[in-house]
């Protein structure tokens, strides 16, 4: 199979010489032990050492690095905090990692215009902290928000609990500054409600570092609601919880957050955070309401009525801010909590239409038997975004391979149920084969042409996000070989 | 009209290198650059394909009139939250291709914010499915949203899936007597507070403000704003339709300019300013006293841009409807255009004279 690695051949010494001329010594790492911390992102199953790590401090340096790499034909992988879960920031063996960690300044918070201009290495939570004195905040709140950066959020179009009501990253970015692989600087979007020409902002957001390197981000800030309260409901059947989600939406309510955990997930988190979850329940729902006190009271009473009608076995409403945070603590800590009960876990990220929730969960239960691995489910129920946590032990032979196959099957089922292979973590290296399942050859060709319009030589993050058609053909054959070709209508060649 | 007919027309045009002018309701013939090419009428490719109220999406063919879609949504208490203008004739395809939103854009977001997926026929007659029917999908580049506002230059939007939202439970309109500067200052101040403002419109010394949301929230906001700032509650329904459809007298004139600006841009003090919408972010200038170059420069200096929205054809040809792009961006636009429409047969010159 053609791989990205054998397409590029870099002269390591020549590259180091050129980079030394651009960057001061403290901004350039070339020794193996210094490179080690950069060998993977949050998806630790895939690792690679780059030839060098650049830590530029100015946009001019970014321009010089990219221009030089373009000249030398060297791959470049941009990196934020490295919390990505799809291997998007995994280095290229023949390339450079361009860490934006030192671009960590908040340049401007404009109270009246309700926006902030920040460098891409600024952490997500830091933006809300800087806006707090003005009664404003940045709405998209990935669970990793204390660590992940705005640059990474833009590249992954990250989501979070608030995204059901307040939108994803793409709905909350006004403008970005970008450096192309050829070292050209341009700005996309504006502080005005729209900008002339094609909506390149939509194209760049979620493009996984494949189209350009972001050096500045202007984000929208929204007024902090006066009050937030959460309703916690438990159900004795997962299907009922799924129907309750649909009933809330059907009642015309868009909560500020609507999250679900199944029994294995609550069992894992309760001893860890002591949130008071109903451990006998098959699933619990957390439904947040925010706004003015009058608004919240009205919504909470309507939500409670809907949940009761949907057959909730127990309903509790947070009576204080401390209690609200405690109800959420379990959901927010679900990943580390599961991490305590298993040596390793593999976090998936598919989306499905909400009405297929029960079906998906039943299928996952069957897969647990098939692959002989346990799985806990936490998800953004309001937008059908699942995060099955497949538990495995990397030290036991064969377990990772089974976990990987388990994950792939979940993603492929997501597509079949009318959903997508990723809702917020991106394709990266992880889901590259499943891209062949979600898209036909024709769409993949369009993606390749878009890529070429920005980066003709394919130097930015090669091998990620969009599979080569060659790779899809191989993946297709692999499935035929196992006699389980799932999408016979898809074109192959 | 079936998808296969659309594809056949496109393949035929590509084979003959024949420019096509995509048109549905024709309600937007006034908008954008020159109209050129053989007419490709897509209005007969119509009908709602799927509507799932609890999944919050509707999928329809491009020629479906917006009124038909909105009527279906209203039956389930839902709406197109970007509140597009329509005049009875506008279609879904034209609405997304033009990318123009109405008064509620200030609160809800623009057309692109609600596009979840598209079926696209590109300039070679190839049919593509981008995005889908779920709220979150980050697999591959977001081509669906790229197409919002592309004015038919990248392909025919054969089918579109939009996110829909529940209609607000309550809605009330207030009217204030305020000059331009004072109105702008207040709009920006209110924008930073947790107030359920869903539309604003200032013209000729009057500011109209619409509040939408939960019953209790609207009632308390109305009481507070009336008390503190002297707003009068008025029946706003007809007013907001006249703003959405631009039948309000503020939009009348031989030329109508649309200026998208940062909301905090101070009063422009232009002779003939027609109206301000979207909390200060959208300003309409109806008149021909100020030269195009001056308007474009003023908008750019403020960090925004100016569109020659409605004007006699001679002026549109001379000035171009849209603000020129910076050279690196224009180069990118050309390459993108080429990747969807290698022969350049789709709506040539409608967006920019260069492609
Ligand atoms: C415990 C945990 C919980 C998480 N929860 C969520 C969640 O709720 N929602 C969610 O969406 N994600 C979540 N994530 C995933 C991850 O945090 C996000 O994808 C985040 O946006 C990555 O940001 P980062 O700064 O760490 O980026 P990195 O991992 O460093 O990079 C991610 C991608 O962005 C590119 N990139 C980074 N900076 C730039 C730049 N300046 N210009 C161009 N490209 C760039 C990289 O090349 C790479 O492709 C979680 C991760 C963890 C570990
Ligand atoms: C007199 C009048 C005044 C109006 N004034 C305003 C106004 O001031 N502000 C406002 O916002 N709206 C205005 N409109 C509303 C306008 O009707 C809508 O914006 C509408 O969305 C246009 O839709 P259409 O189907 O009529 O598009 P058309 O006029 O047929 O087409 C509009 C554009 O979309 C392209 N297009 C159409 N269908 C497709 C498709 N399926 N795929 C790809 N491209 C396609 C066309 O090539 C063209 O570039 C006005 C309408 C009328 C009749």
Q: How far apart are CA A201 and CA A216, in angstroms?
A: 13
DSSP conformation class of B311: -
Q: Do A454 and B332 touch (CB under 8 A)?
A: yes
Give the residue among A430, A269, A276 at the shortest CA–CA distance from A337. A269
Q: How far apart are CA A196 and CA A201, in angstroms?
A: 11
Name the token pair of B211. 């509040």
User: How far B218 CA lies from chain A's nearest CA (Å)?
Assistant: 9
Task: Output the pTM of the full model.
Answer: 0.93
Q: How far apart are CA A186 and CA A459, in angstroms?
A: 18
Which residues in chain A have their CB less than 8 angstroms from residue B52's CB? 353, 355
Which residue's CA is minimally distant from atom 23 of ligand 1? A152
Tokens 């109405």 — which residue? B102
Å from CA of A349 to ligand 2 middle: 38
What interhelical angle do A469-481 and A441-454 show, nearest 10? Answer: 150
DSSP string, B245-300: TT-SGGG-SS-EEEEE--TTPPP---TTEEEEEGGGTEEEEE-SSS-HHHHHHHHH
User: How far B250 CA lies from chain A's nearest CA (Å)?
Assistant: 21
Q: Which of A199, A353, A422 sits opposite B146 (nearest CB)?
A: A199
Arithmetic mean of pLDDT over chain B: 94
Mean pLDDT for B35-53 is: 94
Residue A390 contacts residue A407 (beta carbons within 8 Å) = yes
- Site residues for ligand 1, CB cut-off 6 Å: A 41-42, 77-85, 88-89, 100, 120, 142-144, 148-149, 151-153, 155-156, 158-160, 208-209, 213-214, 335, 424-425, 461
Residue B1 pLDDT grade (very low, low, confident, very high; cuts 50, 70, 90):
confident
Residue A224 contacts residue A139 (beta carbons within 8 Å) = no
ipTM: 0.96
First to last CA, chain B: 28
**Ligand 2 proximity of B347 Cβ (cutoff 6 Å):** yes
User: How far A378 CA lies from chain B's nearest CA (Å)?
Assistant: 16
Q: Do A195 and B141 touch (CB under 8 A)?
A: no
Nearest CA in chain A to B334: A453
Residue B270 pLDDT grade (very low, low, confident, very high; cuts 50, 70, 90):
confident
pLDDT number for residue A6: 59
Local confidence pLDDT in tens for the 493 residues of chain A = 344 445 899 999 999 999 999 999 999 999 999 999 999 999 998 999 999 999 999 999 999 999 999 999 999 999 999 999 999 999 999 999 999 999 999 999 999 999 999 999 999 999 999 999 999 999 999 999 999 999 999 999 999 999 999 999 999 999 999 999 999 999 999 999 999 999 999 999 999 999 999 999 999 999 999 999 999 999 999 989 999 999 999 999 999 999 999 999 999 999 988 999 999 999 999 999 999 898 999 999 999 999 999 999 999 999 999 999 999 988 888 888 999 999 999 999 999 998 898 899 999 999 999 999 999 999 899 999 999 999 999 999 999 999 999 999 999 999 999 999 999 999 999 999 999 999 999 999 999 999 999 999 999 999 999 999 999 988 875 443 343 444 444 443 3
Which residue's CA is minimally distant from atom 18 of ligand 1? A84
Residue A479 contacts residue A409 (beta carbons within 8 Å) = no
User: How far B301 CA lies from chain A's nearest CA (Å)?
Assistant: 12
Longest pairwise C-alpha distance within chain A: 70
Name the token pair of B61. 């063919």
How remote is the C-alpha of B214 from its chain's centroid? 26
Q: Is a pLDDT exceeding 90 seen at residue B191?
A: yes
Residue B283 contacts residue B299 (beta carbons within 8 Å) = no
Residue B318 pLDDT grade (very low, low, confident, very high; cuts 50, 70, 90):
confident
Q: Is a pLDDT exceeding 90 seen at residue B24?
A: no
Which residues in chain A have their CB less than 8 angstroms from residue B113's CB? 167, 170-171
Tell me the ligand closest to B64's alpha carbon: 2
Q: Is a pLDDT exceeding 70 seen at residue B263?
A: yes
At a CB cut-off of 8 Å and minimum separation 6, what does A362 contact? Answer: none
Q: Do A192 and B325 touch (CB under 8 A)?
A: no
**CB-side exposure of A305: number of CA atoms within 13 Å?**
9
State which of B39, B89, B94 you would mutate to test the pocket of ligand 2, scoring each by most atoms of that ligand within 8 A of its C-beta: B94
């Amino acid at each position: 199979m053609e791989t990205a690695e054998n397409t590029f051949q870099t002269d390591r010494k020549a590259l180091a010489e050129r980079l030394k001329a651009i960057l001061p010594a403290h901004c350039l790492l070339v020794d193996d032990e210094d490179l080690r911390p950069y060998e993977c992102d949050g998806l630790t199953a895939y690792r690679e050492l780059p030839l060098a790590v650049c830590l530029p401090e100015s946009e001019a340096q970014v321009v010089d690095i990219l221009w030089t790499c373009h000249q030398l034909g060297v791959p470049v992988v941009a990196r934020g905090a490295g919390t990505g879960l799809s291997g998007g920031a995994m280095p290229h063996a023949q390339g450079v990692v361009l860490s934006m960690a030192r671009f960590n300044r908040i340049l401007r918070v404009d109270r009246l215009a309700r926006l902030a201009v920040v460098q891409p290495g600024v952490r997500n939570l830091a933006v809300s902290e800087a806006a707090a004195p003005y009664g404003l905040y940045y709405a998209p709140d990935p669970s990793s928000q204390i660590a992940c950066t705005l640059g990474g959020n833009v590249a992954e179009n990250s989501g979070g609990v608030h995204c059901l009501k307040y939108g994803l990253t793409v709905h909350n970015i006004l403008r970005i500054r970008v450096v192309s692989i050829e070292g050209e600087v341009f700005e996309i979007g504006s502080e005005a409600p729209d900008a002339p020409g094609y909506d390149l902002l939509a194209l760049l957001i979620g493009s996984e570092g494949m189209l350009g390197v972001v050096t500045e981000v202007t984000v929208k800030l929204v007024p902090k609601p006066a009050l937030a309260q959460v309703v916690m409901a438990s159900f004795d059947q997962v299907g009922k919880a799924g129907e309750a989600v649909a009933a809330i939406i059907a009642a015309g309510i868009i909560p500020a957050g609507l999250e679900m955990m199944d029994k294995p997930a609550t069992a894992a988190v309760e001893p860890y955070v002591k949130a008071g979850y109903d451990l006998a329940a098959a699933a619990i729902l957390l439904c947040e309401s925010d706004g003015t006190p009058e608004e919240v009271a009205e919504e909470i009473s309507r939500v409670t009525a809907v949940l009761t009608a949907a057959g909730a076995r127990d309903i509790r409403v947070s009576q204080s801010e401390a209690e609200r945070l405690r109800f959420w603590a379990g959901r927010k800590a679900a990943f580390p909590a599961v991490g305590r009960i298993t040596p390793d876990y593999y976090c998936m990220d598919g989306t499905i239409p909400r009405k297929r929730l029960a079906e998906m969960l039943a299928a996952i239960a069957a897969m647990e038997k098939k692959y002989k691995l346990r799985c806990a489910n936490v998800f953004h129920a309001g937008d059908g975004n699942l995060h099955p946590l497949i538990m495995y032990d990397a030290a036991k032979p064969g377990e990772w391979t089974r976990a990987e196959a388990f994950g792939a099957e979940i993603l492929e089922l997501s597509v079949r149920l009318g959903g997508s292979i990723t809702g917020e973590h991106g394709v990266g290296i992880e889901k590259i084969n499943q891209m062949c399942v979600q898209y036909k050859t024709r769409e993949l060709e369009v993606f390749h042409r878009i890529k070429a319009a920005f980066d003709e030589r394919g130097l930015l993050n090669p091998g990620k996000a969009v599979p080569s058609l060659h790779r899809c053909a191989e993946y297709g054959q692999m499935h035929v070989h196992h006699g389980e070709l799932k999408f016979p209508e898809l074109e192959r060649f | 009209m079936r998808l296969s007919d659309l594809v056949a027309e496109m393949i035929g045009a590509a084979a003959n290198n024949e420019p096509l002018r995509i048109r549905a309701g024709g309600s937007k013939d006034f908008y954008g650059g020159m109209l050129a090419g053989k007419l490709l009428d897509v209005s007969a490719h119509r009908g709602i394909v799927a509507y799932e109220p609890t999944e919050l999406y509707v999928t329809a063919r491009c020629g479906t009139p917006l009124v038909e879609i909105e009527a279906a949504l209203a039956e389930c208490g839902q709406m197109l939250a970007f509140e597009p203008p329509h005049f009875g004739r506008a279609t879904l395809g034209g609405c997304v291709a033009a990318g123009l939103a109405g008064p509620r854009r200030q609160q809800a977001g623009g057309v692109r914010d609600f596009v979840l997926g598209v079926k696209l026929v590109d300039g070679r007659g190839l049919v593509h499915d981008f995005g889908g029917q779920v709220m979150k999908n980050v697999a591959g580049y977001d081509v669906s949203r790229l197409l919002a506002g592309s004015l038919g230059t990248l392909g025919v939007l054969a089918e579109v899936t939009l996110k829909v939202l529940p209609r607000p439970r309550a809605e009330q309109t207030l009217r204030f007597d305020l000059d331009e500067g004072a109105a702008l200052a207040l709009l920006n101040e209110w924008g930073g507070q947790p107030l359920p403002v869903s539309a604003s419109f200032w013209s000729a010394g009057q500011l109209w403000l619409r509040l939408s949301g939960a019953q209790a929230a609207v009632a308390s906001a109305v009481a507070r704003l009336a008390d503190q700032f002297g707003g009068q509650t008025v029946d706003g329904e007809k007013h907001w339709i006249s703003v959405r459809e631009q039948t309000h007298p503020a939009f009348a004139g031989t030329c109508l300019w649309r200026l998208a600006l940062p909301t905090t841009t101070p009063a422009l003090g232009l002779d003939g300013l027609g109206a301000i919408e979207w909390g200060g972010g959208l300003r309409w200038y109806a008149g021909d006293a100020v030269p195009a170059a001056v308007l474009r420069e003023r908008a750019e200096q403020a960090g925004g841009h100016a569109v020659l929205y409605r004007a006699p054809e001679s002026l549109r040809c001379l000035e171009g409807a849209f603000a020129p792009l910076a050279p690196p961006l224009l180069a990118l636009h050309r390459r993108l255009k080429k990747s969807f429409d290698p022969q350049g047969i789709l709506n040539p010159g409608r967006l920019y004279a260069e492609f």
